[in-house]
A = this chain, B = another copy of it.
């Protein structure tokens, strides 16, 4: 069986290393990035640079897109010279951006009209996970499409989960973001409480991180808060985009998200203070300000 030919649209901080891992795994790649110059950073005999998403689609059996937000996906897929203009019957579009589940379902409808299908497969794990090939990948779509795409996922990620029909990858990613952001709020309050009460916050973290209070956010971002290291792993501006998707999906389904709504408002305060491009752990500065730390 010959390997599927892969197209890749969006060579940003996540996309570039993900495409590199596909090339390393032996996939033949046709790539496109809006900003020129990025594609040239990929090297290899099996990599071809295209002039548009449509041209990527023409050359590929499976097309991956990973761009910033819902309108960007709509532009590269449904817009002029978009994927939909070049895609061949039977091909699969795999959107690995984090965007609206409703938009994914709409795009899937359009693709069905071309005898194609969509797998929505947002990722978690950041640029380090993208480089190391250890991303968590949460996928929605028809199971047979998922299974055809699985070898690509295995070249880019570690925890790969089939979550059900189109849109369920995005919905699972949004659950992820509820957990990440509310856990970070817990860390911010605990560290602020510790400081204001004269505890050494590093000792506090060490005392509690191994038990029922433990979380990835506490162990990884807690020490950064203590050390006043607000450099981005994941930027507040991007988290806010994701929380907007969370609250929008919550509105549509009728879910009352008190804590996720609260942390979104606190991140608004961080953005107002100029910390939009800081790491999410700068949330702690908002919580500290409330308590005049």
Task: Assess whether B179 is in contact with A218, with CB atoms less than 8 Å apart.
Answer: yes
Task: Assess whether B291 is in contact with A193, with CB atoms less than 8 Å apart.
Answer: no
- A207-B259 contact, Cβ under 8 Å, with A178-B190, A179-B186, A189-B182: no
Task: Assess whether A161 is in contact with B259, with CB atoms less than 8 Å apart.
Answer: no
CB distance from A32 to the nearest CB of B (A): 29
Task: Assess whether A291 is in contact with B207, with CB atoms less than 8 Å apart.
Answer: no
B-contacting residues, A141-182, CB 8 Å? 159, 161-164, 168, 171-172, 174-180, 182
Complexed CA–CA distance, A257 and B254 (Å) = 27
Chain B residues whose C-beta falls within 8 Å of the C-beta of A208 in the assembled complex: 124, 136, 138, 172, 175-176, 179
Chain B residues whose C-beta falls within 8 Å of the C-beta of A272 in the assembled complex: none
Smallest CB gap from A207: residue in B: B161
Q: Which of A41-49, A76-84, A195-203 contacts B (4 or more CB under 8 A)?
A: A195-203
Q: How many copies does the complex hold?
A: 2
Chain B residues whose C-beta falls within 8 Å of the C-beta of A206 in the assembled complex: 161
Per DSSP, chain A at the interface is helix
Task: Answer whether residue A260 sits at the interface, using C-beta atoms and an 8 A cutoff.
Answer: yes
Task: Assess whether A171 is in contact with B197, with CB atoms less than 8 Å apart.
Answer: yes
Smallest CB gap from A221: residue in B: B212
Chain B residues whose C-beta falls within 8 Å of the C-beta of A203 in the assembled complex: 161-164, 172
Residue-wise, chain A 220-236 has the 8 Å CB interface mask toward B (1 for contact) of 10000000000000100
- A256-B291 contact, Cβ under 8 Å, with A124-B208, A163-B203, A172-B208: yes
Q: Which of A57-65, A86-94, A107-115, A245-253 contacts B (4 or more CB under 8 A)?
A: A245-253
Chain B residues whose C-beta falls within 8 Å of the C-beta of A136 in the assembled complex: 207-208, 210-211
Task: Assess whether B175 is in contact with A204, with CB atoms less than 8 Å apart.
Answer: yes
Which residue of B138, B168, B189, B191 is within 8 Å of A259 (Cβ)? B189
Chain B residues whose C-beta falls within 8 Å of the C-beta of A290 in the assembled complex: 256, 258
- A259-B186 contact, Cβ under 8 Å, with A208-B138, A216-B212, A246-B193: yes
Complexed CA–CA distance, A193 and B182 (Å) = 14
Chain B residues whose C-beta falls within 8 Å of the C-beta of A171 in the assembled complex: 193-194, 197-199
Known pairs A163-B203, A172-B203, A183-B213. 11 more at Cβ < 8 A? A124-B212, A164-B203, A171-B194, A176-B208, A182-B182, A185-B259, A186-B259, A197-B249, A215-B217, A258-B290, A259-B259
For the complex of A and B, list the 7 residue pairs with the smallest distance between their C-beta atoms, beginning with the closest.
A182-B186, A161-B207, A215-B215, A179-B213, A256-B290, A175-B190, A176-B208
